[in-house]
Amino acid sequence: MPDVATNQPPNRLRFSYSYVVGYVVYGVDVPKTVKGPYFTVSIVDAKSSKQTEVYKSPVLDTYDYDTCAKFGGWGNPAIKGDGCYSKPVPVDVAVSTHSTEFYVLFKFFNKDRNMHLNEDGMKLEIGVPC
Whole domain around residue 19: which residue ranges?
4-127
The pTM score is 0.81
pLDDT tens for each residue of 37-59: 999 999 999 999 999 999 999 99
- Residue 49's pLDDT is 94
Question: How many CB atoms are located within 10 Å of the residue 70 CB?
Answer: 7
Give CA separation, 17 vs 13, 29, 50, 61, in Å.
13, 26, 25, 14
* 38-45, strands of its sheet edge to edge: 4-5, 101-109, 38-45, 51-56
Residue 101 scores a pLDDT above 70: yes
Number of domain units in the chain = 1
Average pLDDT in the chain: 82
pLDDT tens for each residue of 62-94: 777 777 765 555 655 565 555 678 888 999 999
